[in-house]
Amino acid sequence: MKFAIVTFGCRVNQADSLALEERLRADGGRAARIEDADLVIVNTCAVTSAAEKGARQAIRRVARLNPAGRIVATGCYVTRRPDEVAALPGVACLWTNDQKDRRTLGPGETRGAAIVPGMRGRTAYLLRVQTGCDQHCTYCVVPATRGRPCSLPPRAVCAQVARAEAAGFKEIVLTGVHLGAYGRDLDPPSSLASLLRLLDLSPGAARIRVSSLEPMDCTPAVVSAFARSRRFAPHFHLPLQHASDRMLTAMGRPYTLARYRRLVEDVRRSIPDASIGTDLIVGFPGETAEDAKANVEYLRASPLSYLHVFRYSDRPGTAAAGMRPKVAAIRSRERAAELRALGCELSQRFRRSQVGRDRNGLTLQDPSVALTDNYLKVRIPPGRARNERVTVRMTSATPVLRGVIVEGGGGLPEQDRYDAPSAGPAVPPMSAASFCAGDFCGPSTMSCPHAARMSRPRLLRTETVRR
C-alpha cells in the first residue's frame, strides 16, 4: 500500500504523524506522492480558525488530486467538529484523537521497517511523553480535543529514548500537550523534574531537548536539571501570553508578570547562554492600549531570545468567545506587527551575544546549516553530512548567523557521555514494529520558530499542496 500524510499544527501533532508512518511502514506501506497514494491521512489542527480552514482546503485539494485515494481525516479538528469534516469531499473515515493511535492502518505482515533520521524531513526525534490538559485557559479548545492528562511511565520514556538513539537519532525532543504536568496522573505520581533526573542517569549521548513548558511548571528543580547536565539542550520555551496581569487573569493564566519575570531572570542567571522563547496573544477581548503597552515595555527590557506572536481568534465554545469588547482587527494587526518587530530585535540581540562562542550543534536536512544546542540556526561551511554532531564557533550575526567548525569538538564531551548501567534488559534496535507510540499524542499550542506557521500543513513524504 502506498501512503501519504499531511500534517497541520504543532510538534506533538507532527509526532502523531511520525507514529502513523511508523505503523504504516511496519505493515509494508511505502511513502508516495499524494497523487499516487492509496491512502492519504490528513492530521488536522483546531488551535485557530485558520488551522481548521487550512485543513478543509487541504482535504479538498487531496480529493481533486487523487479522487481514487482513500482519505482518512484525524486530529483535533476531527475530534472537535466531526460532522464538518465528514461532509468534505473524499473523506472515507474519521479518527478522533482517542482513536488515532489505536487503529490498525492496514493488513499485512509486520516487517519492522527501520526508523532513521531524515524521515519526513526531520533530523531530531519527537517523543511524546504526555497528552491531555486540564488547565482550561479561557481561549483554548485543547482540553476538549485532547482530554485529561495521561503520561507515559518514566521507564518507558527511557526505553524509547534508547531506541531512538540506537536508530541513529542524535537529538530527541520531549513533547506533550501539557508537558509540565508530566507524571501527576501516574501511580505512584512522578514529575518532569524526576523524569529529567532519570534520563540524566540513563546511558547514551543523544542530546535531549524539552519543548514548551508553562511558566508555573518550570520549577527550580527543572531549571537545576538543565543547569547541572549538558545532556539537556539549554533551551526553554515559556509561554507568557501577555504582560498585563489584567489580561492574564482574563485568559485564565495562573501566574503574574512578576512571577514570570523572576522565572526568566532565574533561568538566564543559571544558564547564561540559554535560549528563552515565549508566546504572546494580541487582541484578546478587552485588551486596551495600556495592556498592549505593557507587552512592549516588558519585552523590550526582557532577556528573551525570540517571540511567537499570535492574533487572538474566537474559538466557539470557549469562555473567551463570549467576552466583550472585541478588539478591532486593524488594532490587533498593528499590535501584532509591533511585537513581531520587537521579536526580531530580541532575536538579533541574542545572536550577536553568541558571536565568538563555541556551541554544540547538529547538522540538519541542509547540512550547511546546524542547529545549536541553544536553538540557533547557524550557517556553516559545506562538506558535512546530515545528522552530524559538530562544534560551531559563531563568527558573525548579520545578515544571518554564520560559524566555522571547531575540529575535534564534535559530539558531547567525554565527561558528558552517559554510560550508566541499564536498569533492565538490553534495548533492541529501533524499528517501526518494535516502537509503539501508545495513546500519548496531542498538541502543545507552541511550535518551533523555524517551523511553518500553524495554519500551514507540514507535508510528509508528499509534494507541496498548492493553494
The dihedral built from the CA positions of residue 348, 349, 354 and 356, taken in this order, carries a sign that is positive
Q: Which three cell numbers stand for residue 28?
A: 509494508
Angle between helices 220-228 and 257-270 (to 10 degrees): 20
Least confident span in 335-344, 382-391, 447-456: 447-456
pLDDT in tens, 367-391: 999 999 999 999 999 999 999 999 9
For 357-374, the three-class secondary structure string (H helix, E strand, C coil) is CEEEEEECCCCCEEEECC
Q: What is the DSSP letter of 241?
A: B
**3-54 tens-digit pLDDT:** 999 999 888 888 888 888 888 888 889 999 999 999 999 999 999 889 999 9
> Maximum Cα–Cα distance for the chain, whole Å?
63
Whether 418 shows a pLDDT value over 90: the answer reads no
From 73, 177, 110, select the one nearest 439 (Cα to Cα).
Answer: 177
pLDDT at 107: 38
Residue 114, pLDDT score: 58
| Among candidate residues 115, 112, 97, the one with its CA nearest the CA of residue 13 | 97
Q: What is the mean pLDDT of the segment spanning 236-241?
A: 98
Residue 410 predicted with pLDDT over 80 = no
How many CA atoms within 13 Å lie on the side-chain side of 224?
6
What's the pLDDT band for 119 if we cut at 50, 70, 90? confident
Alpha-carbon distance values, 276 to 172, 211, 374, 391, 392 (Å): 19, 11, 9, 21, 20
* Nine-digit cell string for 21: 508512518
Asked if pLDDT for residue 302 goes beyond 90, the answer is yes
pLDDT value for 101: 65
The domains of the chain, with CATH numbers, are 2-113+450-460 (3.40.50.12160), 119-354 (3.80.30.20), 358-411 (2.40.50.140)
**What beta strand segments (E) does 19-108 contain?**
30-31, 39-44, 70-75, 91-95
pLDDT score of 317 more than 80: yes
Query: How far is the CA of 446 from the CAs of 109, 124, 227, in angstroms?
Result: 37, 17, 23
Closest-CA residue to 43 (of 83, 10, 92, 90): 10
Whole-number percent of the chain with pLDDT over 90: 75
